[in-house]
Every structure is written in structure tokens, then in C-alpha cells.
Amino acid sequence: MARKKKESAPKQTKTRGVINGAGTVAEQEIPQTIESNFMPYAMSVIMSRAIPEIDGFKPSHRKLLYTMYKMGLLSGARTKSANIVGQTMKLNPHGDAAIYDTMVRLSRGYEALLHPYVDSKGNFGKFYSRDMAWAASRYTEAKLDPICGELFRDIDKDTVDFVDNYDNTMKEPTLLPATFPSVLVNANTGIAVGMASSICSFNLKEVCETAIALIKDPEHNISETMPAPDFTGGAQIIYDRAVFDEIYRTGRGSFKVRARYAYDKSANCIDVLGIPPTTTSEAIIEKIVDLVKGGKLKEISDVRDETGLDGLKITIDLKRGADPDKLMQRLYKLTTLEDSFSCNFNVLIAGSPRVLGVRELLEEWTAFRTECVRRRVYFELQKKKEKLHLLLGLKLILLDIDKAVRIVRETAEESEVVPNLMIGFGIDEVQAEYVAEIKLRHLNREYILKRTEEVDELEKSIAELESVLSSKTKVKNIIIKELKTVAEKYGRPRRSSLAYASEIEQEEPAEEEPDYPVNLFFTREGYFKKITPLSLRMGGEQKLKEGDEVKRAVETTSSAELLFFTNKCQVYKARANDFADTKASVLGDYVPAKLGMDEGEQALEMIVTKDYKGILLFVFENGKVAKVNLEAYATKTNRKKLTGAYSDKSPLAAIGFCDGDGEFVLTASSGRMLLLDTSMLQTKATRSTQGVSVMRLKKGQRVMNIEPYAEGRFDKPSRYRSKTLPALGAFLSSDDEAKQLSLI
């Protein structure tokens, strides 16, 4: 029924028991209704519920952890979870169920976080299980994990702001002064109104090292120290450098994570030991059962969940003759054993939601932590100044203790004691009040001397604290020191391994070929020969192109795999069987042409392996050396070409290879030599890393070569060694130079 646009309001009358104006229909525009009613709710969800802040916590997390901190649960015994939930309701009025759910997700027992904040006892369920529910709060116990000491360090020294709780009876912190970038260390997801946040977890040690590197050098390449996320389930991350560079830059994107498995040959079964964080064991098992019933997976006889005290374990029994690796490749495509993790690094910065890349996030955290440190130093400075002020007043009393006693004794009224002391010794009211409160037993020279001895120490401390406040460098050094302490104390090895995306494709059956002894030769100009031992003994001198020389000679078998590294940061993979047997009297195969390399591409080095065990050393002309496991180049497929074989930031001088850690000789254009022990270098997770500075060079100099150190080459090897890197190395001594000439 149509209604007039304007209606006159009925006359208001006062009647007992009747509400005036009841039933009157008032018109209101829909946008206005949404703005006045829905917008406050939306803002509340965004600001106070779903989006984490720069300290890495949502309000519900922060309220729970702060309550546990105030309950003294950072040390001592655990208490019942119900007790914690009840105490938290003083800060969080959303109900006990919501608070307990929050505590469960932060607990060690739930296993959702790389570094749990709650040390739990009892059944807290598992993040990878949909049906494994946690016990009620009255049955479980909890306390704060030791790492929480880094979250609350100096919180009582005015490092962060405090606000009233919902009923104005208590104070709570707006942020926690975390000494490490917790926002990136533990995964955090939330869905607000019109926006969401999804932050993946990263390895604590790698995050701290990256934060330190960015403080020292804002242009630091993050991928070198923090190659990829790390998940508590230990799943395998499909690594694509371009994908992660985009995520690190924009804070948005997605990458693939796949399950980690092992094949038990004796039981003929596959054990899935780690799954993506976006799925559950029940969902995987149900999908596999459906595929088996549908006739799509005929190699499987049974699948079951064998999760126990040792952690997650899904067992897949195979039928006789089934290939476990090929089956897993199919399962990756057909089930959530391989899944995508979407990133949306949406964080509240100064009350506004912002999507930040990793660099910006760490810069914002550094700015936040800088303010925390400055506030702490200022708090300590004021306390020391106050104490110094009191002691200076006490020091004046030392001049005439009898006079102080006489003033107190001869003052008629108690209220006049402080003013009389102020007049008698020329001190202010605060100092006089402090002196007046001294016990009679302390009015002796020994006590006053002991107290006033602190004056010099306090003055030194105050000067030092004031110098920190006036120096940005000193504040940064404090942050770096704290980050190093956290990394050393709480850092753990990566749980998630990396699998290069370019190497993952359908496996092709390999033809069986005969395996027999061969000698392999690779020359500086890029020629390759495969010669049998008999042919080598019967043949004469090696035929080489004019000016060419043999760079590497290896005794192996024809089934060995060959890796040819090129001048375009690529590696070409082949097998010795791909080359025909030849003789010493021929030039051999030209590798760039044989393997179809790009135009202008040259083979620099050949590495021979059967098991991909060993260490590669990439030596760059700028003095940096990258230590990479040869395993990083292993693939289960017939990939012939891998890009990003090594860093392109500086020209490559040489490549070294050894089965394990050993000593190598680096030679610079200046003639200096450095004896390098590879155990001093940390193995890098990514192939394209620049490595670390090893040899210090002057302008115009470069590293030219690397070669294994042969015992006896130097009379005094210690001359060329260094305990710290980078090092200059040393020129050849006269004895070593003579020995070098005799070898030539």
C-alpha cells in the first residue's frame, strides 16, 4: 500500500502505560542505515578482532597472554586452563569458549605454531586433524612458554601504551614489546568485514637474521637470508623464485605446498609424514577412499590414519608392483596432498589496515621496536635521575649529621621538619622528605657513605643512557644484539624443505643401459671425451685444440650423471651414457652443441656424481663464496636444463667441488692466496645465493681461481689460513714460490 512521502506525526499525549509515538513508521535511506548501523560493526571487527598488529597479535591473543603474564605463569607450575579463561574474561568479554579456543590455537599441544606461546599439558587436539577435538578447559593445564619472556621484556618500563579495559577497572597494553618480529614467525589468519589477513610462518632464525641485515643495509636481498616460509607440519614447499619475490614485494600471492612422504619397502607402503597447513588428515583419507572406490587409483589396497605420539602419519598400503613415486605424483594432483597457500600480509599499522611486503613489514617492526627501546631507556634514565637527586641530598647531610638530628629534635611540630631541613641544608622538598624518613639506626657515617658511593656509578649510567637516546646507531645496536640473542636461544632448523618448481614434472621411465668403467675428460674450451680404461691404455697422448687443456678428469662408470655449469647461470644435466665412447686421439664432443645450449653460452665446469652427495663452492670475482649442497640440483625427472644455477650478481671466477668439508686455495689477481676451510661457511638453502664475503680485495682486484689444497703444497699452511672471514690472504713465501716454479 502506497504511503505519502511526508506524514504529519501524530499528536503526542501523555497516557499512563502507553508509549508515545509507538507504531510510527519513520523513513530512512538505505545508505544512511548501513552507514550508521553496519559501519561501526565493520570497523570494530577490523580494528579489534580479525587483523593482527605489528607485534603479531590480535586483541584476543594479546589479552590472553597478558593475563597469563600477570598471573605469574611465565615461571612456576602450570595452572588449570579454566582458571586462565576466567581471569582473561576481565579483559576479554566475549565468553569462555572463545577465549579457550584462542588458547588452544596458541598452545604447544595443538602444533599450529612454529614457536608456541602456551606450554600446555593435556589433550589440546591437533591442527592437522578435523575430528580430534580438544578436552574441556577443566581437564587441561597451561603456562606461558619461555619464548614469551621476549614478548613481555621490559613491559613494566613504559615501553608500550596501556589503556583501560572494557569496564575501566584494569589496564591492558595496546601492543606487546616483542624483541623479535613475531608477526612473521608464527602463522596468523583472520577474516574481517570486506578484508582479510593471511600471514604464513617463517623460520625464527632466518627472520632475525633478515631483520638484522635490513637494519645494517636497507637494500639487503631478503631471499638470501629468508628464502621461503616454514611450516610446523614439515611439508615441502614448491619453490619458485619469481613467485616468492612477488610475495615479498607486494605481500600478496600464493605458492604450493605438498606433503612429505617416505616409502617403507619392507611393508610396501607409503607413510605421509607431513601435510600442507591448509588441509586435514581426514579430508585426505576421505578423498583417497573415494578415488579408490571410483577406480581411479588401483595401486592402493588400504589407507589409514596411524597418527600417534610421534606425530602425523597417514599410511597408504600398495599392491604388488606399484611404483610409490609415480603414485604420489598422481595423489598430488588428485588430492589436497598438494595445496596452495594464499598470502595476504594485511596488518594494522597505527590503527590503519595496510597490505605490506616483507621488507616494509620488517621496517615497520624495526620502527616500532626502536620506539620501545627508546622509551625503556628514557624510563630507566628518569629512575636513575630521581635516585641520584635523592642521594645528592643525602650527601649534604654527611657534612653535618649532628645538625640534621638537632633540627629534627628542636622542631616543635612534625609538619615543620621537612621545611626546616630544606632551610638548614639548602635541599628541596623531595630530598628533605627522603632524609626525614631515614631510620634513626641509619643516622651514622657508614650508612650515609655507602649510599653516597652510588652517586658516581649513577652519574656514569645516566651519561651512558643519555648517549643512547641521542644516538640512532646505539639504539640499532641494542635491537641487533637482542635479535641475535633470540636467534641463538630459540632458533631451530627449518622444518619445511624446498623443491624447485622448474624440476617438478611427470617422471618418464628410463631405459636400462649397461654400466661399465669409463674415464671422463672435460677441457677448458668445453670439449668432452668418454674413454674406456682399455682404450685409454692403448691410446697415445690426448688430442686437444690449440691452446686448450684438460680441466677435469674423472674415473667413474657410464651410469654417472653429469652437470655442466655455464656462463649464463644455468646448468645442463646429462648422463655419461648420452655420449658415445671415443678415443684419446680425437677432440671429443663439443658440449654446447651436444646439449643444445643457448647462443653464446659456454660450459665452464663439469661435475660428476651418482648420488648427489657433496658440496659445491661458487667463487665470484668480488671475493664472495656460496656453499651449496649438490643435492640442490637433484631431480626425480629427466630435466635437461635448470635455470638459476648460481647467482648472477657478480661474475663467476671458478667452481669447486668436494665430497665433504675440506680446504681449498683461493687465488686473487694480486697474487695473494687464501687457504679456506669450507666448514667455516654456512650451507645455503637456495642455489642463486650470493654467498658470503671470503676474500678481501682492493680496488681493481678480483678472485681468479679455486682448487683443492694438496697436503705439502705449502711449507707453512698457517700463513695462508685465517680464523675470521673475509681475509686478505698472503703472498707466496720465497720457499713456496720456488716450490711452485719447480712444479711448473
The 10s digit of each residue's pLDDT in 602-648 is 999 999 998 888 899 999 999 999 999 998 888 766 678 888 899 98
Question: Does residue 409 belong to any structural domain of this protein?
Answer: yes
Single pTM value for the model = 0.67
**The pLDDT value given to residue 448:** 73
Q: How confident is the model at residue 176 (pLDDT cuts 50, 70, 90)?
A: very high
Q: How confident is the model at residue 410 (pLDDT cuts 50, 70, 90)?
A: confident
Task: Pick the more confident residue, 302 or 8.
Answer: 302
Question: Does residue 234 belong to any structural domain of this protein?
Answer: no
Q: Per-residue pLDDT for 513 more than 70?
A: no
Domain boundary among 315, 336, 357: 336
How far is it, in rounded angstroms, from Cα 149 to Cα 75?
10
Within 13 Å, how many C-alpha atoms sit on residue 139's CB side?
8
Which segment of 10-14, 52-56, 276-280, 671-675 scores lowest on mean pLDDT?
A: 10-14
- Identify whether residues 441 and 312 lie together within a single domain: no
How far is it, in rounded angstroms, from Cα 645 to Cα 642?
7
- Identify whether residues 62 and 147 lie together within a single domain: yes
Q: For 116-166, give the secondary structure using H, E and C.
A: CCEEEECCCCCCCCCCCCCCCCCCCEEEECHHHHHCCCCHHHCCCCEEECC
Q: Can you tell me the mean pLDDT for 98-119? A: 94
Count, in order, helices (H) and strands (E) of the chain: 21, 32
In the chain, the percentage of residues whose pLDDT exceeds 90 is: 51
Q: Can you tell me the mean pLDDT for 438-454? A: 76
Contact at 8 Å (CB) between 517 and 531? no
Task: Pick the more confident residue, 441 or 346.
Answer: 346
Question: Does residue 497 belong to any structural domain of this protein?
Answer: no
Q: How confident is the model at residue 684 (pLDDT cuts 50, 70, 90)?
A: confident
- Identify whether residues 485 and 578 lie together within a single domain: no
Q: Can you tell me the mean pLDDT for 323-341? A: 92
Q: Per-residue pLDDT for 12 more than 70?
A: no
Q: How confident is the model at residue 738 (pLDDT cuts 50, 70, 90)?
A: low
- Identify whether residues 482 and 531 lie together within a single domain: no
Helix (H) or strand (E) holding 472: helix 472-490
Domain of 296?
Answer: 260-336
Task: Pick the more confident residue, 47 or 320.
Answer: 320
Q: Is 139 a catalytic residue?
A: yes
Question: Does residue 494 belong to any structural domain of this protein?
Answer: no
- Identify whether residues 115 and 172 lie together within a single domain: yes
CATH number of the domain that residue 284 is part of: 3.30.1360.40
**The pLDDT value given to residue 20:** 65
Q: Per-residue pLDDT for 32 more than 90?
A: no
Matching residue, cell 535511506: 29
Within 13 Å, how many C-alpha atoms sit on residue 286's CB side?
8
Q: Per-residue pLDDT for 6 more than 50?
A: no
How far is it, in rounded angstroms, from Cα 315 to Cα 262?
10
Helix (H) or strand (E) holding 575: strand 571-575
How far is it, in rounded angstroms, from Cα 262 to Cα 494?
18
Domain boundary among 156, 178, 200: 178
CATH number of the domain that residue 61 is part of: 3.90.199.10
- Identify whether residues 478 and 521 lie together within a single domain: no
DSSP codes joined into one string, 300-325: EEEEEE--BTTB--EEEEE-TT--HH
End-to-end alpha-carbon separation of the chain, Å? 110
**The pLDDT value given to residue 21:** 61
Which segment of 28-37, 84-93, 135-144, 315-324 scores lowest on mean pLDDT?
A: 28-37
Question: Does residue 226 belong to any structural domain of this protein?
Answer: no
- Identify whether residues 125 and 273 lie together within a single domain: no
The grid cell for 68 is: 597469563
Using alpha carbons, list the distances in angstroms from residue 515 to 252, 261, 512, 520, 529: 50, 30, 9, 14, 17
Contact at 8 Å (CB) between 152 and 176? yes
Using alpha carbons, list the distances in angstroms from residue 219 to 19, 211, 214, 565: 69, 12, 7, 29
**The pLDDT value given to residue 637:** 63
Which segment of 216-220, 427-431, 613-617, 634-638 scores lowest on mean pLDDT?
A: 634-638
Q: Can you tell me the mean pLDDT for 718-726? A: 86
Nearby residues of 42 by Cβ (< 8 Å), 6 or more positions away: 192, 193, 194
Matching residue, cell 642455489: 687
**The pLDDT value given to residue 509:** 40
Which of left, alpha, beta for 272 (phi over 0: left; psi -120 to 50: alpha)?
Answer: beta
Q: Per-residue pLDDT for 411 more than 90?
A: no
Q: Per-residue pLDDT for 5 more than 70?
A: no
Q: How confident is the model at residue 7 (pLDDT cuts 50, 70, 90)?
A: very low
Question: Does residue 358 belong to any structural domain of this protein?
Answer: no
- Identify whether residues 659 and 545 lie together within a single domain: yes
Q: Into how many domains does the chain fold?
A: 4
**The pLDDT value given to residue 162:** 95
**The pLDDT value given to residue 31:** 83
How far is it, in rounded angstroms, from Cα 295 to Cα 297?
6
**The pLDDT value given to residue 356:** 94
Using alpha carbons, list the distances in angstroms from residue 264 to 177, 314, 445, 642: 48, 12, 81, 31
Q: How confident is the model at residue 741 (pLDDT cuts 50, 70, 90)?
A: low
Q: Per-residue pLDDT for 361 more than 60?
A: yes
3-state secondary structure of 103: helix
How far is it, in rounded angstroms, from Cα 364 to Cα 371?
11
Question: Does residue 473 belong to any structural domain of this protein?
Answer: yes
Q: Can you tell me the mean pLDDT for 488-501? A: 91
**The pLDDT value given to residue 38:** 81
**The pLDDT value given to residue 340:** 93
Helix (H) or strand (E) holding 424: helix 417-425
**The pLDDT value given to residue 682:** 87
Q: 521 forms bridges with which residues in the sheet? A: 529, 553
CATH number of the domain that residue 412 is part of: 1.10.268.10
- Identify whether residues 550 and 668 lie together within a single domain: yes
- Identify whether residues 620 and 684 lie together within a single domain: yes
Contact at 8 Å (CB) between 666 and 619? yes
**The pLDDT value given to residue 97:** 92
Q: How confident is the model at residue 452 (pLDDT cuts 50, 70, 90)?
A: confident
Domain boundary among 139, 160, 178: 178
The grid cell for 672 is: 695473494
Q: Per-residue pLDDT for 727 more than 80?
A: yes
The grid cell for 348 is: 594494522
CATH number of the domain that residue 692 is part of: 2.120.10.90
Helix (H) or strand (E) holding 527: strand 527-531
Catalytic residue among 41, 139, 166, 516: 139
- Identify whether residues 678 and 571 lie together within a single domain: yes
User: What average pLDDT does the chain have?
Assistant: 88
**The pLDDT value given to residue 16:** 55
Matching residue, cell 628518569: 382
In the chain, the percentage of residues whose pLDDT exceeds 70 is: 94
**The pLDDT value given to residue 355:** 94
Question: Does residue 192 belong to any structural domain of this protein?
Answer: no
Which segment of 90-104, 231-245, 436-450, 658-672 scores lowest on mean pLDDT?
A: 436-450
- Identify whether residues 167 and 70 lie together within a single domain: yes
Q: Per-residue pLDDT for 61 more than 90?
A: yes
